[in-house]
Structure 1
Amino acid sequence: MKDFFMETNRIGFSKWKDTDLNLSIQLWGDQDVTRFICANGKFSNQDISNRLGTEIFNEKHYHIQYWPIFELASGELIGCCGLRPFKSEANSYEMGIHLCKKYWRMGYAFEASKLVINYGFTVLKAEKLYAGHHPENEASEKLLTKLGFRYIGKNYYEPTGLYHPSYELINDRL
């Protein structure tokens, strides 16, 4: 059984560890998941290992990551959702979510994102959260709008080599 530090009625948030390579391959080894994340649409085994290392580094140094999320009923990996440092502004973070295809269109992205937003604003006292998506990823655009993010323009995203629509959500609780 996984240790969860955040939960809803359906999902639990864990933290990536060095021993989670197989889980990370399950998620980022699926081209349906990675097609909007990198330029060629798929991660090599080295890319997956590097991504896992980045998440572990972010947890160790910033106490945040794109945390792995699990379905409580089955114990299966749903994907990941979380925060990473936003380099250009202090006390601001970038939110992201990657879900295994099996869990698309089931409300998990909204549910996980709401919990991460709440964590960012209440625990981290973030002033702003940022998010972006691949220009062709209409589902992410709808999700961010539903979550209350406001479109602020396009920013160059090096991993895809494209300009991605970008959004912000301001913490009105401060």
Structure 2
Amino acid sequence: MPPFILQTNRLTLMPVDVADLPELQALFTDPDVRRYLLDDLLVEEAWTADVVNRSVVMFRDLSYGLWAIRETGQRSVIGFCGYWYFEHLPHPLQLIYGLLPAWWGQGLATEAARIMLDYGFETVGFTEIIAATDVPNRASVRVMERLGLTHLVTDEAVIYYSLLR
């Protein structure tokens, strides 16, 4: 399998690429997706292009970034998963994931995040993986708990979970 391509029973995860830009823009601007992931901000295509470009550099330099999630054998991007830096947060490197609403409730976020945990520990060599979500995002909290992450800390708006190797 080519480098950085990850496969589960139902999903194929490939590093985001410039060709994914239109689908990622639609994903990031979906009102239900951006409610928690982007604090309801409506991002411009230039922002999404910057995310893709930063991810490409991260893969080149660090062997991780953001992966586009597709159903195995399909071309359409249904979500993303990966590791991202949030320099302004107390835990800057985080596992992140998101799916279009049509794909919610099927266990796909858990499936994608599980293979991402394996990749982070086994391939990258992380000793701890942090994930976070807005406090009201109960669905994301359930994903983290199903993955075995444990509550680390909650501040006024964000709840952090951690998994140690």
Q: TM-score higher than 0.5 here?
A: yes
Aligned equivalent of 1:122? 122
Identity level (%): 22
The aligned amino acid for 1:135 is: V
More helix by share: 2
Map 1:60-79 → 2, pairs under 5 A: 60-79=60-79
- Root mean square deviation of aligned Cα: 2.4
Cα offset, 1:59, TM superposition: 1.7
Q: In structure 2, what residue type is equivalent to 1:25?
A: Q
- Give the corresponding residue for 1:23: 23
User: How far apart are 1:43 and its partner, in Å?
Assistant: 1.9
Residue 161 (structure 2) pairs with residue 167 (structure 1) = yes
Structure 1 unaligned runs (5+)? 156-161
State the alpha-carbon separation in 1 of the partners of residues 84 and 38 from structure 2: 17
CA contact (8 A) 1:29 1:48 kept: no
* TM, length-normalised to structure 2: 0.86
Query: Where does structure 1 differ by over 4 angstroms across 4 or more consecutive aligned residues?
Result: 85-89
Q: Which moved more, 1:22-31 or 1:123-132?
A: 22-31
Cα pair 1:93 1:126 within 8 Å, conserved: no
Tell me the CA shift for residue 4 of structure 1. 7.2
Say if 2:4 and 2:63, in contact at 8 Å, map to a contact too. Answer: no
How many pairs are equivalent? 162
Contact 2:16 2:55 in 1 (8 A): yes
Matches within 5 A, 1:121-160: 121-155=121-155
TM-score (norm 1): 0.82
Contact 1:79 1:99 in 2 (8 A): yes
